[in-house]
Structure 1
Amino acid sequence: MNIGKTGVWSPELRLHRDPAEIADAAAELDSQGWGALWIPGLGGGDILGDAERLLSATGHTVVATGVLSIWRHPAEEMAVGHARLRKDHGHRLLLGLGVSDATAAQRAGGTYRPLAALDGYLDRLDSAPDPVPADERLVGAMAPKLTELAARRSAGTHPFLVTPDFTATARAALGDAPLLAPYQAVVVDDDPRRARATARRFLAPFIEMRHYAKSLLRQGFSQDDIADGGSDRLIDSVVAWGTIEAIDARVRAHLDAGATHVALHAISPRDGLPRTEWRELAPLVR
């Protein structure tokens, strides 16, 4: 499955109130040539229905879940839905899977053993009447053991809130072949104070989550960096802000570090679909 070098990651492609406007925006992104449209799990809901809307509105781009929680979406249902969408739209759905956190596992009545839970989930995808092929699924892996599992049993990984240095480490762990598609938050604004404030409004809740905080600490950030919505150092490291040229330099840094693809999340200070930002970012289609 070819997802190109760059894609668009967007919660708005699931959350926006007007489905017709979502479809229109997806068609425009498809026409610009983005390799993939990524939609996050957002705690559940009809993620395959939302993916189907995007697949129906586009003709070329891959639609990827980035990522759905294995605790909220039974593997058997995902396999059935994936097979149906593959039949209707070809090989354009990439099923991104995540282990979420202990709270999600407890709410689902499970025990939070991420590696074993994901391994079992992949077993169920493999044993379904219409299995999900390994090259049409990937893992939101940030820890070393999950990265190793992703390399063995999926197309690769889609890590969240990471730096190009992390990308280089992940590539070394994955080997040459697997897909490595990091999430990259971007703010198209060259005013430092305003750009960082825009970034913090979205990222602060994630930075406070234990599993993301642990990942950031493994990447070399301190507890002080994680406090109060993130230090300037942390924000500048995980968010690309500024001119299109500055954002392009961050994309190139990930690609030079071994990324196969970079999923760009345009964080806007305005509500609604960030279509202005997407048009500004269109030169970064590779």
Structure 2
Amino acid sequence: MAASDRIPDYLVGSHQLASTVVFSTLFSLVFILLISPYLRFVWFSIGLASQQSLMTIVFMSLVIVILALSKMVMYAIARKHTLIYFDYVMWCFGEVVLISLAYAAFSVNGIAAGVIPHPEEISFLKLFLSAMGFCLISLGVPYLLSAFFFAIEDKNNTIRLMSFGAITTDEAPSLTRDEKITLYDNSGSLKLVVSLSNLYYIESDDNYIKVWYQDSEGTLKQYMLRCRLKTVEESFTNSDLVRCHRKYIVNFGKVEMISRTKDGFAIDLGLGGIDPIPVSKTYEDNVLARFNSRG
């Protein structure tokens, strides 16, 4: 699997998934109010004190539950496995199919029970196909808009929040250039400046990162800030910071050795208190090539 096929982390973060559910629900509600009077097989109604309005609210609540549970499962899977674009698209299409099936079943039973008024009997298949077209628009449009927004936000963070190189200082210039890593949070606030020679690795924790470094006394410390690992990876492409796993970036200047385990390769940073860091299949070739090219 090529790295370019991997779905960006900003599409499967907890904040992004929750925001997508909220936006999709609001978009669908507005879309219902605008288009339902013109659709033959759509019985939704909002604003009238009737059984039809009550059934609309009940069904929309069911849709919210379906979407929320779906995104929770997606988030859990994405935390443990690498998802590609095809997986994401098929997952979203599966949501459309599931909600369409729920709509058809809900409508057939509601019409039969007399709680959903409809002038004619409609087959399950017609209701399902009608719902598919409706859901493809009411979910597809907000999904695309959300992805577009998160992509722009991520790119802006990459450009604006991170920098690599020496920082301005009033100290006398040294004979050896000590590169500094400056890390900003998502709001643009400078949070941490650490020498590359003291940094060991960076660990992802959802929308946060944990920076593991050694202080002036030789003590291993951890600093957490709200920033995505992907942003760090893209910002420090030409540095010794190398992505080796969906959860880890390591400082190759600190790598002592790479060993093979039953689960693949692992990186040893040669410092007590740091367990070997796994290398995933996606990054294996790049990591090994980088390690073998060291002088």
Name the TM-score class by shorter chain. Answer: under 0.3
Compute the TM-score of the two structures, normalised by the length of structure 1: 0.23
Compute the TM-score of the two structures, normalised by the length of structure 2: 0.23
Structure with the greater alpha carbon radius of gyration: 2
Ranked by relative contact order (alpha carbons within 8 Å, sequence separation 6 or more), the top structure is: 1
Query: Quick check: which one's strand share is greater?
Result: 2
